[in-house]
Structure 1
Amino acid sequence: MVFLVLLVLGLALLFGYESPKVSELNQRLAADPELNSFSYRFRVVRLDGRKAVMSTPRSTEVPVERILHLLFDDLTSRQTSGPRFQQAQRELARIQTKARDMVLADPAVERVSWELDRDWLMQHGVQLVP
Protein backbone atom coordinates (compact mmCIF):
# COMPACT_ATOMS: atom_id res chain seq x y z
CA MET A 1 0.00 0.00 0.00
CA VAL A 2 2.81 2.41 0.87
CA PHE A 3 4.46 1.60 -2.47
CA LEU A 4 1.26 2.47 -4.32
CA VAL A 5 0.95 5.82 -2.51
CA LEU A 6 4.59 6.65 -3.27
CA LEU A 7 4.10 5.67 -6.90
CA VAL A 8 1.04 7.90 -7.26
CA LEU A 9 2.84 10.82 -5.57
CA GLY A 10 5.89 10.29 -7.79
CA LEU A 11 3.79 10.30 -10.94
CA ALA A 12 1.91 13.39 -9.79
CA LEU A 13 5.20 15.20 -9.22
CA LEU A 14 6.62 14.02 -12.53
CA PHE A 15 3.64 15.13 -14.60
CA GLY A 16 2.82 18.21 -12.55
CA TYR A 17 6.34 19.54 -12.23
CA GLU A 18 7.14 22.80 -13.95
CA SER A 19 10.68 24.11 -13.81
CA PRO A 20 11.20 27.49 -12.17
CA LYS A 21 12.25 29.01 -15.52
CA VAL A 22 9.14 27.70 -17.28
CA SER A 23 7.02 29.07 -14.41
CA GLU A 24 8.75 32.44 -14.70
CA LEU A 25 8.16 32.62 -18.46
CA ASN A 26 4.51 31.63 -18.06
CA GLN A 27 4.01 34.23 -15.34
CA ARG A 28 5.40 36.88 -17.71
CA LEU A 29 2.98 35.78 -20.42
CA ALA A 30 0.04 35.78 -17.98
CA ALA A 31 0.97 39.26 -16.71
CA ASP A 32 0.59 40.82 -20.15
CA PRO A 33 -2.91 42.34 -20.31
CA GLU A 34 -3.39 41.70 -24.02
CA LEU A 35 -2.26 38.08 -23.87
CA ASN A 36 -4.23 37.53 -20.68
CA SER A 37 -7.45 38.79 -22.26
CA PHE A 38 -7.08 36.67 -25.41
CA SER A 39 -9.31 33.59 -25.58
CA TYR A 40 -6.33 31.20 -25.74
CA ARG A 41 -3.49 31.21 -23.20
CA PHE A 42 -0.18 30.74 -24.94
CA ARG A 43 2.28 29.13 -22.55
CA VAL A 44 5.68 27.55 -22.37
CA VAL A 45 5.27 23.79 -22.05
CA ARG A 46 8.92 23.00 -21.42
CA LEU A 47 12.47 24.05 -22.09
CA ASP A 48 14.71 21.80 -24.16
CA GLY A 49 18.09 23.36 -23.54
CA ARG A 50 17.75 26.90 -24.87
CA LYS A 51 14.65 26.10 -26.93
CA ALA A 52 11.26 26.97 -25.47
CA VAL A 53 8.43 24.69 -26.56
CA MET A 54 5.19 26.66 -26.55
CA SER A 55 1.59 25.56 -26.86
CA THR A 56 -0.59 26.61 -29.77
CA PRO A 57 -4.16 25.83 -30.82
CA ARG A 58 -3.20 26.04 -34.49
CA SER A 59 -1.65 23.45 -36.78
CA THR A 60 -2.17 21.87 -40.15
CA GLU A 61 -4.02 19.05 -38.36
CA VAL A 62 -7.01 21.30 -37.70
CA PRO A 63 -8.67 23.58 -40.27
CA VAL A 64 -8.02 27.22 -39.50
CA GLU A 65 -11.75 27.93 -39.76
CA ARG A 66 -12.43 25.63 -36.80
CA ILE A 67 -9.81 27.30 -34.61
CA LEU A 68 -10.83 30.85 -35.49
CA HIS A 69 -14.47 30.11 -34.69
CA LEU A 70 -13.40 28.84 -31.26
CA LEU A 71 -11.20 31.87 -30.58
CA PHE A 72 -13.38 34.66 -31.94
CA ASP A 73 -16.97 34.64 -30.72
CA ASP A 74 -18.05 37.22 -33.26
CA LEU A 75 -17.34 34.96 -36.25
CA THR A 76 -20.47 33.23 -37.45
CA SER A 77 -20.31 29.61 -38.55
CA ARG A 78 -20.81 30.72 -42.14
CA GLN A 79 -17.85 33.10 -42.11
CA THR A 80 -14.93 31.21 -43.62
CA SER A 81 -13.57 34.08 -45.68
CA GLY A 82 -14.07 37.79 -46.03
CA PRO A 83 -12.68 40.80 -44.17
CA ARG A 84 -13.62 39.78 -40.59
CA PHE A 85 -12.31 36.26 -41.09
CA GLN A 86 -9.02 37.57 -42.47
CA GLN A 87 -8.79 40.07 -39.62
CA ALA A 88 -9.22 37.20 -37.13
CA GLN A 89 -6.41 35.27 -38.86
CA ARG A 90 -4.11 38.28 -38.59
CA GLU A 91 -5.08 38.83 -34.95
CA LEU A 92 -4.26 35.24 -34.02
CA ALA A 93 -0.91 35.51 -35.80
CA ARG A 94 -0.15 38.82 -34.09
CA ILE A 95 -0.97 37.54 -30.60
CA GLN A 96 0.99 34.32 -31.14
CA THR A 97 3.97 36.33 -32.41
CA LYS A 98 3.78 38.61 -29.38
CA ALA A 99 3.83 35.60 -27.02
CA ARG A 100 6.79 34.12 -28.89
CA ASP A 101 8.69 37.41 -28.85
CA MET A 102 8.14 37.82 -25.12
CA VAL A 103 9.64 34.38 -24.52
CA LEU A 104 12.51 35.04 -26.93
CA ALA A 105 13.32 38.23 -25.01
CA ASP A 106 14.56 36.07 -22.14
CA PRO A 107 18.34 35.54 -22.31
CA ALA A 108 17.90 31.84 -21.50
CA VAL A 109 15.88 31.26 -24.69
CA GLU A 110 17.39 31.19 -28.17
CA ARG A 111 14.45 29.84 -30.14
CA VAL A 112 10.85 28.73 -29.89
CA SER A 113 9.07 25.75 -31.35
CA TRP A 114 5.33 25.11 -31.26
CA GLU A 115 3.42 22.12 -29.95
CA LEU A 116 -0.25 21.58 -30.68
CA ASP A 117 -2.35 21.96 -27.53
CA ARG A 118 -4.34 18.76 -27.94
CA ASP A 119 -5.90 19.01 -24.48
CA TRP A 120 -7.31 22.48 -25.18
CA LEU A 121 -8.67 21.33 -28.53
CA MET A 122 -10.33 18.26 -27.01
CA GLN A 123 -11.84 20.42 -24.26
CA HIS A 124 -13.38 22.52 -27.04
CA GLY A 125 -14.83 19.56 -28.92
CA VAL A 126 -12.19 19.22 -31.61
CA GLN A 127 -11.47 15.58 -32.37
CA LEU A 128 -7.95 14.83 -33.55
CA VAL A 129 -6.80 11.74 -35.38
CA PRO A 130 -3.90 10.13 -33.50
Structure 2
Amino acid sequence: MDRFTRTYSLLLGAILVAVLFFWAKSTWKPEVWSLDQILTSDPQLASYPYQFHVRDVRDGVVVISTPRSPAFPAYQFLQVIDPKLVGKAQDDPAMIAAQQNLINHQKHAQGLILAQPGVKGVDWELDVQWLSEHGVQVPQTSSMIQ
Protein backbone atom coordinates (compact mmCIF):
# COMPACT_ATOMS: atom_id res chain seq x y z
CA MET A 1 0.00 0.00 0.00
CA ASP A 2 1.47 3.36 -0.98
CA ARG A 3 1.78 6.33 1.38
CA PHE A 4 -1.24 8.24 -0.01
CA THR A 5 -3.59 5.24 0.25
CA ARG A 6 -2.44 4.51 3.81
CA THR A 7 -2.87 8.16 4.89
CA TYR A 8 -6.26 8.38 3.16
CA SER A 9 -7.42 5.14 4.82
CA LEU A 10 -6.31 6.29 8.27
CA LEU A 11 -7.99 9.69 7.84
CA LEU A 12 -11.20 8.08 6.58
CA GLY A 13 -11.14 5.64 9.50
CA ALA A 14 -10.63 8.48 12.01
CA ILE A 15 -13.56 10.39 10.54
CA LEU A 16 -15.75 7.29 10.71
CA VAL A 17 -14.80 6.68 14.35
CA ALA A 18 -15.54 10.34 15.21
CA VAL A 19 -18.94 10.22 13.50
CA LEU A 20 -19.84 6.98 15.29
CA PHE A 21 -18.72 8.47 18.62
CA PHE A 22 -20.87 11.60 18.23
CA TRP A 23 -23.83 9.54 17.03
CA ALA A 24 -23.57 7.20 20.02
CA LYS A 25 -23.19 10.16 22.39
CA SER A 26 -26.29 11.87 21.00
CA THR A 27 -28.46 8.75 21.25
CA TRP A 28 -27.20 7.63 24.66
CA LYS A 29 -29.76 9.19 27.02
CA PRO A 30 -30.27 7.02 30.10
CA GLU A 31 -31.99 9.89 31.95
CA VAL A 32 -34.57 10.14 29.17
CA TRP A 33 -35.05 6.38 29.18
CA SER A 34 -35.58 6.17 32.94
CA LEU A 35 -38.08 9.06 32.97
CA ASP A 36 -39.89 7.59 29.97
CA GLN A 37 -40.13 4.27 31.82
CA ILE A 38 -42.04 6.07 34.58
CA LEU A 39 -44.64 7.23 32.05
CA THR A 40 -44.93 3.96 30.14
CA SER A 41 -45.25 1.85 33.27
CA ASP A 42 -47.99 3.97 34.87
CA PRO A 43 -51.30 2.03 34.70
CA GLN A 44 -53.45 5.15 34.29
CA LEU A 45 -51.38 6.42 31.36
CA ALA A 46 -51.02 2.95 29.82
CA SER A 47 -54.80 2.64 29.54
CA TYR A 48 -55.09 5.85 27.49
CA PRO A 49 -55.02 5.51 23.65
CA TYR A 50 -52.11 7.97 23.36
CA GLN A 51 -48.87 7.17 25.17
CA PHE A 52 -46.92 10.19 26.40
CA HIS A 53 -43.14 9.86 25.98
CA VAL A 54 -40.13 11.73 27.32
CA ARG A 55 -38.27 13.16 24.35
CA ASP A 56 -35.40 15.03 25.98
CA VAL A 57 -34.03 16.51 29.19
CA ARG A 58 -32.46 19.97 28.97
CA ASP A 59 -31.03 21.51 32.15
CA GLY A 60 -33.66 19.85 34.35
CA VAL A 61 -36.54 20.63 32.01
CA VAL A 62 -38.15 17.48 30.63
CA VAL A 63 -39.67 17.54 27.15
CA ILE A 64 -42.73 15.29 26.84
CA SER A 65 -44.64 14.43 23.67
CA THR A 66 -48.25 15.57 23.38
CA PRO A 67 -50.97 15.10 20.76
CA ARG A 68 -52.20 18.69 20.94
CA SER A 69 -50.86 22.20 20.53
CA PRO A 70 -52.10 25.64 19.50
CA ALA A 71 -51.40 24.58 15.89
CA PHE A 72 -53.27 21.28 16.33
CA PRO A 73 -56.30 21.51 18.64
CA ALA A 74 -57.28 18.67 20.95
CA TYR A 75 -60.65 18.07 19.32
CA GLN A 76 -58.92 17.02 16.07
CA PHE A 77 -56.75 14.51 17.94
CA LEU A 78 -59.74 13.20 19.88
CA GLN A 79 -61.56 12.35 16.63
CA VAL A 80 -58.59 10.18 15.70
CA ILE A 81 -58.59 8.12 18.90
CA ASP A 82 -62.39 7.95 19.25
CA PRO A 83 -64.36 7.58 16.00
CA LYS A 84 -67.62 8.30 17.89
CA LEU A 85 -66.44 11.92 18.18
CA VAL A 86 -66.04 12.45 14.43
CA GLY A 87 -68.22 15.33 13.31
CA LYS A 88 -69.14 16.46 16.82
CA ALA A 89 -68.86 20.12 17.70
CA GLN A 90 -66.26 21.35 20.19
CA ASP A 91 -69.02 22.18 22.68
CA ASP A 92 -70.70 18.77 22.46
CA PRO A 93 -70.79 17.14 25.94
CA ALA A 94 -68.98 14.02 24.66
CA MET A 95 -66.22 16.16 23.12
CA ILE A 96 -65.89 18.22 26.31
CA ALA A 97 -65.62 15.03 28.39
CA ALA A 98 -62.98 13.62 26.03
CA GLN A 99 -61.00 16.88 26.20
CA GLN A 100 -61.13 16.82 29.99
CA ASN A 101 -59.96 13.20 29.96
CA LEU A 102 -56.98 14.19 27.79
CA ILE A 103 -56.20 17.11 30.10
CA ASN A 104 -56.35 14.81 33.14
CA HIS A 105 -53.94 12.34 31.55
CA GLN A 106 -51.58 15.10 30.47
CA LYS A 107 -51.59 16.61 33.98
CA HIS A 108 -50.98 13.16 35.45
CA ALA A 109 -47.97 12.63 33.16
CA GLN A 110 -46.65 16.06 34.11
CA GLY A 111 -47.11 15.36 37.82
CA LEU A 112 -45.26 12.04 37.60
CA ILE A 113 -42.28 13.72 35.93
CA LEU A 114 -42.24 16.79 38.19
CA ALA A 115 -42.11 14.47 41.21
CA GLN A 116 -38.75 13.09 40.07
CA PRO A 117 -35.53 14.41 41.62
CA GLY A 118 -33.70 17.01 39.59
CA VAL A 119 -36.69 17.90 37.41
CA LYS A 120 -37.33 21.65 37.36
CA GLY A 121 -40.11 21.80 34.79
CA VAL A 122 -41.89 20.25 31.84
CA ASP A 123 -42.16 21.44 28.24
CA TRP A 124 -44.46 19.84 25.70
CA GLU A 125 -43.63 18.92 22.11
CA LEU A 126 -46.29 18.10 19.53
CA ASP A 127 -45.97 14.46 18.50
CA VAL A 128 -45.99 15.02 14.75
CA GLN A 129 -44.74 11.49 14.10
CA TRP A 130 -47.64 9.84 15.99
CA LEU A 131 -50.16 12.07 14.24
CA SER A 132 -48.59 11.33 10.85
CA GLU A 133 -48.69 7.58 11.54
CA HIS A 134 -52.43 7.98 12.19
CA GLY A 135 -53.07 9.82 8.93
CA VAL A 136 -53.15 13.36 10.29
CA GLN A 137 -51.38 16.19 8.49
CA VAL A 138 -50.09 18.88 10.85
CA PRO A 139 -49.33 22.43 9.67
CA GLN A 140 -45.60 23.18 9.48
CA THR A 141 -44.98 25.25 12.61
CA SER A 142 -42.78 24.92 15.64
CA SER A 143 -43.67 21.76 17.53
CA MET A 144 -42.42 23.02 20.90
CA ILE A 145 -45.12 24.22 23.27
CA GLN A 146 -44.11 26.34 26.21
Q: Fold-level match, TM-score > 0.5?
A: yes
Percent pairwise identity:
34
Partner of 1:45: 55
Unaligned runs of 5+ in 2: 1-8, 141-146
Which of 105, 115, 120 is 2:130 aligned to? Answer: 120
Residues 52-86 of structure 1, C-alpha deviations (whole Å, 9 max, x = no match): 011101011113321111133442x1222321111
Aligned AA (1:78): G
The higher relative CO (CA closer than 8 Å, separation ≥ 6) is in 1
* Superposition deviation, residue 43 in structure 1: 1.2
Secondary structure (helix, strand or coil) at the match of 1:59 reads: coil
RMSD: 2.3
Q: Would the alpha carbon gap of residues 97 and 18 (structure 1) be closer, same or farther in structure 2, given more than 3 Å must change?
A: farther
- The residue that corresponds to 2:3 in the other structure is none
Tell me the TM-score normalised to structure 1 length: 0.84
Change beyond 3 A, Cα 1:128–1:11: farther
Equivalences for residues 19-34 of structure 1 within 5 A: 19-34=29-44
Aligned twin of 2:64? 54
The correspondence for 1:89, drawn from 99, 122, 142, is: 99
2:94 counterpart of 1:78: no
TM-score normalised by structure 2 residue count? 0.76
Say if 2:68 is the partner of 1:68.
Answer: no
Deviation beyond 3 Å, 4+ runs, structure 1: 1-15
The equivalent residue for 1:105 is 115
SS at match of 2:138: coil
Q: Which has the larger radius of gyration?
A: 2
Aligned pair count reads: 128
For the structure 1 residues 102 and 127, does the alpha-carbon distance in structure 2 shift closer, same or farther, using more than 3 Å as the test?
Answer: same
